[in-house]
Amino acid sequence: MPDSFRVIISPRALSDIEGIYRYIANDSPRNARAILRRLMSAIDSLELFPYRNEVYQGRRPISETVRRMPVNPFILYYRVNDEQGVVDVITIRHGKRLQPRRFGR
């Protein structure tokens, strides 16, 4: 296992982050910036500690291990690839929304 991992934010997760920011900024640009900082800080922390969060157990079996990190009120989903030393941030969802059944590449 590498000492640190390279964190890659998928296009889908980037789109999620942009959507979250825009939605919150409509009412409060200050809160939008604060949420953005919290999300990015959580993502950055995966570089050193990707295994600290629980494995996601969806309603249907998932063929690969996906972990979930709560960043209240959101949940960040990601995969860890030990061989490549990479953490792939897949998507970010609001905790009250229906959670993903599948995770594409």
Residue 50, preceding bond cis, omega within 30 degrees? Answer: no
Instruction: Give the pLDDT band (50/70/90) at residue 102.
Output: low
Give the integer Cα–Cα distance in Å for 32 and 21: 5
DSSP class of residue 36 equals H
- Where are the domains positioned within the chain? 6-97
What pLDDT is recorded for position 50? Answer: 96
pLDDT at 58 over 90: no
CB-based contact 56:77 (threshold 8 Å): yes
What pLDDT is recorded for position 7? Answer: 98
Instruction: Give the pLDDT band (50/70/90) at residue 60.
Output: low
Percent of the chain past pLDDT 90, that is, above it, reads 75
What pLDDT is recorded for position 95? Answer: 81
9: helix, coil or strand?
Answer: strand
Q: To which CATH superfamily is domain 6-97 assigned?
A: RelE-like (3.30.2310.20)
pLDDT at 99 over 80: no
Q: What's the rounded mean pLDDT across residues 78-87? A: 94
The sign one gets for the Cα dihedral 22, 33, 5, 93 is: negative
Sheet containing 67-71: give its strands across.
6-9, 86-94, 74-81, 67-71
Mean pLDDT of the chain, nearest integer = 89
